[in-house]
Amino acid sequence: MPTVHVVGCGGTIASEPAADGAAPAKAGEELVAAVPDVAEYATLRVTDAGSRAGFDMDFGVVASAADAVRTAVADGADGVVVTHGTDTLADTAYALDLACDVPVPVVVTGSQRRFDEPGSDAPANLLTAVRAATEDRFSPGVHVAFDDELHAARDVVKTHTNALDTFQSPGTGPVATFTRATTRVHRDPERARSDVSLPADALSPDRDASAYATVPVVHSGTGVTGSALDRVVDEADGVVVEGTGLGNATGPLGDAVAEAVDRLSVVVSSRCHAGPTEAVYGTAGGGVTLRDHGVAYAGTLSTAKARVKLVLALTAGLSRDATEATFE
């Protein structure tokens, strides 16, 4: 049987109820023991890389997970499953896809409900992840297994606060779906990989969590001025401007971008759930004007994914030109 290594990071799937609110408490071994059916698909090994709520994740824990993935593969694992909190699960999956290049399937999963809650999705999600991690066709690359579906790390986003089918891939759909008996592949897994690989030391367990690049997000919307961007420029290493539509901003924010690009990398994303960013409109905050100022565009990446890429590229020491070239 194939060997699948499970890397625990905490999250709802590892949480237990408490008087002051649920919190991660279960180790990876407990998760595996709670789903005996996984033994039908693989021999399991387990490592704990952290025990964090998804909303409290930092790049230090993500780097520990990346190190555990690389170590597991070096020790002969045929696939790796990472358990994680759902709030930032898509961020971590994408970070691993960018900086953790290994020749086996890596599948990230979690749950919306704890093991002790009625109708828990934890057992099914863990089982689906292990099944996916045993299939060579999902390698290389990182995927997310949730609600009987497999999504590409690059495309998947959390879309609902508590629904069990929260993870979706707007604009592309899942890579595969799972039934009790089989796996149905809907699109080429090779095309679901990230569009660029970053140096492995972009996620290094030797680096303190506070040493990662500082990249805030500034949102555009009705009546937004440039003051928010002006306030963060001095303390940031880069910034993501979440625009509207195709990647446009208000006039005052566009003027602030013109000043900011002389000092740091500015990446423009869209607050829309699907579709690319494109330079079409003029005026002070339109995409053509922003492009002429020298911004990079996030393409079809979500704002959160664009921020993850920018953080890791800058942390890895890529030059400004090389960093911006990783975007579309």
The pLDDT tens digits of the residues spanning 155-202 come to 999 999 999 999 999 999 999 999 998 999 998 877 667 767 888 889
Q: From CA 57, how far away is CA 171, in angstroms rounded?
A: 27
> Percentage of residues in the chain with pLDDT exceeding 90?
89
Write down the mean pLDDT value for the chain.
Answer: 94
Residues 65-111 pLDDT 10s: 999 999 999 999 999 999 999 999 999 999 999 999 899 999 999 99
- Residue range(s) in the chain whose domain bears CATH number 3.40.50.1170: 3-192
Find out whether 111 and 13 touch, Cβ atoms under 8 Å.
Answer: yes
Choose among 67, 70, 66: nearest CA to 92.
66
Q: From CA 327, how far away is CA 264, in angstroms rounded?
A: 15
Catalytic residue at 222? no
213-325 — its CATH code?
3.40.50.40
Choose among 87, 86, 106: nearest CA to 153.
106
Residue 189 has a pLDDT of 76
Q: From CA 214, how far away is CA 196, in angstroms rounded?
A: 21
Q: Is the pLDDT of residue 33 over 90?
A: yes
CATH superfamily of the domain spanning 3-192: L-asparaginase, N-terminal domain (3.40.50.1170)
Q: From CA 129, how far away is CA 38, in angstroms rounded?
A: 10
Q: From CA 312, how far away is CA 305, in angstroms rounded?
A: 11
Residue 74 has a pLDDT of 96
User: Taking residues 127-133, what's their average pLDDT?
Assistant: 97
- Residue range(s) in the chain whose domain bears CATH number 3.40.50.40: 213-325
Task: Check 47, 83, 86, 172 and give the catalytic one.
Answer: 86
pLDDT class of 61 with cuts at 50, 70, 90 = very high
